[in-house]
Structure 1
């Protein structure tokens, strides 16, 4: 088995954040509050949302379904009547929905938890899922199969971006580089971006917010992958405390037992 010695003291560990800029900034602040300042953070969003002008279907709808807070950013670009309620995948999305004036309920989980919540509460009015080009969990079809009225509407799309030059340069140095990854789509984009690069000198590690997010990273065998116990930012922070670069027995290319 290959084993790498500890990173050279002169090379600080780096955390690479590939979420959109606002979400990366929020998680960066949480990381420093939790772990201190002994590492670098580089932000390199791999996707940038675009919000085309979109008209809402006529409905009527009792509630929105929100599997991503990005859908709320599309609200200024929508025309039509919005319902007063929102069923949300997690607490952060629910908080954001409340800030927009919705009576929001959180499933405190992932798309499966949201589906279970909706099937348990069984709203009698129509449900409108605002989503991106690749909606998670096939919720609309599964809700319809269970006898509920549901429609889906694509309100944003993600434009791909390349890894920043600073990230590529950091991968060419020895030491630890950690990628927290927050969605299957981000994981796929990151895996495709990394596998076309020359073999990095850095030791890459990954933390995934869910097993579905881990799958593209595992498929391409890019490095060790840890999966959060719950699909939320708090559980992702728990994976990094204590920091993985403090572990002297981590595997990496370049040195033998």
Structure 2
């Protein structure tokens, strides 16, 4: 038998050559990220507790936003607690702002009325002022004279300061007029008292007579002392007072 001539020799694998890398699997590749946390976020709990107490202002809202960011990045529970903390903190802040704006304003507004229809006293604290700075409309308490009607024959009593109080509460007197003396030389105490009494009667008696409680009202006044006269004080202050010594007025004059 004859055989065909052998063809060229086929080269075999080179034992020194490296093995080719294994084929990559077809289809989409999947990446792996950090492990997700399934625990309740501590910041969320803190935000809820802080917002519930309402004693830390905006802190609860800040903790709530931080916890929401952490939950979005790392996973975990507590999103509802964080949102509740933010809402509660916002409510406390809004409520505190409204209270700050409304409550102080109530002192300067007209006072409420009691069961009998009479105005309730304001809660404004007494303000100590110099006696010569009183002006029309001021209501005062004077511990020295106690608002008693003026007695021209009585010796003068020097008063340096009085307490300004609301006219809707008990007070010794209400300033109805202020006028200045025109004398260049300071009058004697007796003459000063007469000038003050006459001037106040002309200026406020008609108003007192128009008040529903005119029969229970009297007049009082303050005039300059020797020291204040030297400092340029010439003012006489006229007040309405209770005609009964030791008793106080409880409302503004309505005349």
Q: 1 or 2 for the larger relative contact order (CA 8 Å, sep ≥6)?
A: 1
The question of a shared fold, defined as TM-score above 0.5 by the shorter chain, is answered with no
Q: TM-score, normalised on structure 1?
A: 0.19
Higher-strand-fraction structure: 1
Q: TM-score, normalised on structure 2?
A: 0.19
Compare CA radii of gyration and give the structure with the larger one.
2
